[in-house]
Amino acid sequence: MKFLFKGGRVIDPKNKRDERCDLLVERGKIVQVGKHLSPNGSQVIDADGLWVVPGLMDMHVHLRQPGREDKETILTGSRAAAKGGFTSVLPMANTDPVVDNRGAVEFLLSEAKRVGLVNVFPVAAVTKGLKGEELSEIGELASVGCVALSDDGKPIHNAKLMRHALEYAAMFGLPIIAHEQDPSLFEGGVMHEGYTSTVLGLRGIPSVCESIMVARDIELVKFVGGKVHFAHVSSERSIELIREAKRQGLAVTCETAPHYFSLTDKDISCFDANFKMNPPLRSEEDVEAVKKALKDGTIDCIATDHAPHTEQEKDTEFDAAPFGIIGLESSLGLCLSLVHTGVLTPSELVSRMSLAPATLLGLPKGTLSIGMDADITVIDPDETWTLRSEDFESKSKNSPFVGRTLKGRAKITMVSGRIVMKDGKITKGD
Amino acid sequence: MTRWTRKDLLGLEELSEKEIRLVLETARSFKEISARPIKKVPTLRGKTVVNLFFEPSTRTRVSFELAAKRLSADAMHIAVQGSSLAKGETLKDMARNIEAMKVDILVMRHPSPGSCHLLARSLKSSVVNAGDGSHEHPTQGLLDMMTIQEKKGKLEGLKVSIIGDILHSRVARSNLWGLLKLGAEVTLCGPKTLLPVECGRLNARTTCDLEEAIAGADVLNILRVQLERQQGCLFPSIREYAQKFCITPERLRKAKKDLLILHPGPMNRGVEIAPEVADGPYSVILDQVTNGVAVRMAVLFLVSQVNRAKEERDEVSV
């Protein structure tokens, strides 16, 4: 099957391309990019006024399967990803059972293949059972297809263990994705510690809770090498530390999530637990710092931390509700606001959402180079639409953005030359 | 005359100055009922009030119960041990079940901030916050203001110092909002570790210096040290707290002669307040308790009028 994307704005930061041209896909690969390509028997997709970009990658999602299929499954999570314009996702290992062994990885991969929508690249646990005690069999996990390691959700408190994890994982070239949070500073907290937590009487999570561990792991990387990727960075001070570490040439990278540049702790005034996530929504200063760091590249990429929870779990006392919100279907619309408000250029945004995560993970994705898998997202940057709870493909609806009007959305998601989403409809056809 | 339009009373932060004055005036008119030989009026006859308490309480619970009974409402108390979630039932389900028994007013105390807001959103019954974690305790704030106004004749321009564990105190928060709206000047005083972050933005003076908080103050509202909330590292010991922050006769030597001492109770005598002060001439602590019943009668009355007005409208439209 051949497809010709005709007349779109092709944005491919890897090849420094941002121009109106055509793109030809054949047998699942990108075969030609240029002006006035002839259809030659291919299906023509009119991309006039649309962006044609390398498929978006979300390197931080929770698909909940196995264990909490009431919240999400590989199928529903893949559908949500496709709808949001993502061609690749990296599910975190904190399922039940934990992805800390070959069998669990093989299950994920085979289930993802059966679903057949988007690429699923498993992240395995750093430690067995996420217990923070013994290393998982990292070598075997790498050999069966894990692309990174993380105890996300259960930060690694033990500095010695983290040191050895870095050393050991480096043999296999795997980065450790670190959820940074000091346990004692975190204890009992449910929102950012600041004026709003003072007014609401909710227990605060100070921003130093994150930055103190960022500082520790920068020190460890400096000491033993290895690669750390800081997950969902939320605070200004963490960003400063990472900026400085990068200046020193250390192998550290980081991501943020759309909510950390779209909302602040002030938005929690109604005690709605759909605004409860970890790290918490922070101050306006933090939001500004996140935007600045996205611009200057201190923050490499945007990931959603898509964290589905059931309605009854979230529609409860703020203290009792679990942390986390879904993000796959709102991410692109929120991220495009960075372009509409002049924070990022279109090319920079595509880099943060596609090229950068692929590069830091060493995956052959994120570009529209000839010969690459045809993972392509077609975006209408200007369409305004309203995020509605009933439209989610995700099994869960826990989003603070429901009801918000967004500008820009994915029109087509193509994975390896197959259209898996078109105009909001999930398709499996080729 | 201001009209009360709220189905619920969740906090003082969202009330206007006029609404607060309305509650206080209504409370003043109800106070006399409790002084009669027959302490009962038929105002809320046929209404049902349920006290749903997830934290132990004597004073507030009895106060609400008496308030309801003196207005002839049927009142009952449910004490829930621990979280409702422990049994697997959500708070909302539990409240909906109670509502299904046609309860008019739910008075709730709960350790979680915002839990009353959660119920208010999902129930047609009125919800009255009797303390939600460290967030608000609006009827306590109102009864404190009623007591001050009664003794001083006004609240405008008075200097009120709230002393103690501000961090965990719902009483401090409700007092702060109410007092500021009615024109008082508020000082928050406590050890640095018990002053919440960024409380400097609250339009109140904050200080760790007890002498400063006492000097020139018209009112001291002394908070209970909540031993159960100290997490082991907020202050070194009760002994040291008492040494540094206990309100003693010596510390009051330079205080104004017409100072009022308030305490929301229950007191830790000798910790945050010396017995001589608690029982001394400045103390209006028992007046607070008396006024508490009047304030709660006023609140139950006002919120019940909103749903009653709606019921009558509905009947007309049928």
The yes-or-no answer on residue B59 being catalytic is: yes
- pLDDT mean over A22-35: 97
pLDDT band at A231 (very low <50, low <70, confident <90, very high): very high
**Chosen domain end from A328, A361, A394:** A361
Q: What is the pLDDT of residue B226?
A: 79
Same domain, A19 and A129: no
Across the interface, of A194, A315, A320, the residue whose CB is closest to B112 is A320
Q: Is the Cβ pair B90, A316 closer than 8 Å?
A: yes
pLDDT tens digits, residue range A279-300?
999 999 999 999 999 999 999 9
pLDDT surpasses 90 at A320: yes
The yes-or-no answer on residue B110 being catalytic is: no
Same domain, A308 and A418: no
3-state secondary structure of A313: helix
Same domain, A10 and A133: no
Q: Is the Cβ pair B112, A195 closer than 8 Å?
A: no
pLDDT tens digits, residue range A132-148?
999 999 999 999 999 99
The yes-or-no answer on residue B60 being catalytic is: yes
pLDDT tens digits, residue range A170-196?
999 999 999 999 999 999 999 999 999
Q: Where residue A274 sits, what CATH number does that domain have?
A: 3.20.20.140
Same domain, A45 and A74: no
Q: What is the pLDDT of residue B23?
A: 98
Same domain, A93 and A215: yes
Same domain, A29 and A94: no
Within a domain: A390: no
Within a domain: A112: yes
Same domain, A269 and A129: yes
Across the interface, of B85, B134, B197, the residue whose CB is closest to A201 is B134
pLDDT tens digits, residue range B8-59?
999 999 999 999 999 999 999 999 999 999 999 999 999 999 999 999 899 9
Which of A185, A198, A317 is the best mutation test for B, with the most CBs of B within 10 A?
A317
pLDDT band at B81 (very low <50, low <70, confident <90, very high): confident
- pLDDT mean over A256-283: 96
Within a domain: A366: no
Between A375 and B85, the higher pLDDT residue: A375
Distance from CA of B282 to the nearest CA of A (A): 30
The yes-or-no answer on residue A305 being catalytic is: yes
Q: Is the Cβ pair A271, B113 closer than 8 Å?
A: yes
Q: What is the pLDDT of residue A268?
A: 92
Q: A1 and chain B: CB distance < 8 Å anywhere?
A: no
Across the interface, of B114, B170, B173, the residue whose CB is closest to A318 is B114
Within a domain: A392: no
Same domain, A204 and A288: yes
Distance from CA of B249 to the nearest CA of A (A): 32
CA–CA gap between residue A291 and residue A74 (Å, rounded): 31
Within a domain: A145: yes
Within a domain: A24: yes
pTM score of the predicted model: 0.94
pLDDT tens digits, residue range B235-278?
888 999 999 999 999 999 999 999 999 999 999 999 999 999 99
CA–CA gap between residue B23 and residue B62 (Å, rounded): 20
Q: Return residues 144-203 of A near B (CB < 8 Å).
A: 188, 193-195, 197-203
Q: A271 and chain B: CB distance < 8 Å anywhere?
A: yes
CA–CA gap between residue A317 and residue A281 (Å, rounded): 18
pLDDT surpasses 70 at A405: yes
Q: Is the Cβ pair A201, B173 closer than 8 Å?
A: yes
Q: What is the pLDDT of residue B85?
A: 53
What pairing do the DSSP bridges indicate for beta strands A418-422 and A405-415? antiparallel
List the catalytic residue out of B6, B21, B59, B77.
B59
Of A7, A15, A23, the C-alpha closest to A374 is A23
pLDDT tens digits, residue range B172-210?
999 999 999 999 999 999 999 999 998 889 999 999 999
Distance from CA of A338 to the nearest CA of B (A): 30
What's the length of chain B? 318
pLDDT tens digits, residue range A30-82?
999 999 999 989 999 999 999 999 999 999 999 999 999 999 999 999 999 99
- pLDDT mean over A194-207: 96
Q: Where residue A420 sits, what CATH number does that domain have?
A: 2.30.40.10
Distances (CA, A) of B41 to A240, A374, B37, B38, B71: 66, 79, 12, 9, 5
Same domain, A254 and A281: yes
Domain that holds residue A18: 2-52+373-381+404-426
Which of B134, B195, B233 is the best mutation test for A, with the most CBs of A within 10 A?
B134
Give the chain A residue nearest B176 (alpha carbons).
Answer: A199
The tally of domains found in chain A comes to: 2
Across the interface, of B90, B114, B198, the residue whose CB is closest to A312 is B90
Within a domain: A386: no
pLDDT surpasses 80 at B86: no
Q: What ipTM does this complex have?
A: 0.93
Provide long-range contacts, Cβ within 8 A and 24+ apart, for A38-44.
A39/A4, A39/A6, A40/A2, A40/A4, A41/A2, A42/A2, A42/A3, A42/A4, A43/A1, A43/A2, A43/A3, A43/A4, A44/A3, A44/A4, A44/A6
DSSP A129-190: GG-SSSB--HHHHHHTT--EEE-TTS----HHHHHHHHHHHHTTTPPEEE----HHHHTT--
Within a domain: A319: yes
Residues of B in contact with A312 (CB under 8 A): 90
- pLDDT mean over A249-255: 97
Of A313, A241, A231, A316, the C-alpha closest to A271 is A316
Across the interface, of B110, B197, B202, the residue whose CB is closest to A193 is B197
Q: What is the pLDDT of residue B233?
A: 83
Distance from CA of B275 to the nearest CA of A (A): 30
Same domain, A160 and A309: yes
pLDDT band at A430 (very low <50, low <70, confident <90, very high): very low
pLDDT surpasses 60 at A370: yes
Question: Average pLDDT, whole number, for chain B?
Answer: 93
Q: Is the Cβ pair A200, B111 closer than 8 Å?
A: no
Give the chain B residue nearest A188 (alpha carbons).
Answer: B231
Q: Is the Cβ pair A318, B199 closer than 8 Å?
A: no
Same domain, A261 and A283: yes
Same domain, A19 and A61: no
Question: Average pLDDT, whole number, for chain A?
Answer: 97
pLDDT surpasses 50 at B316: yes
Percent of chain B predicted with pLDDT > 70: 95
Q: A316 and chain B: CB distance < 8 Å anywhere?
A: yes
Q: What is the pLDDT of residue B227?
A: 75
CA–CA gap between residue A229 and residue A252 (Å, rounded): 6
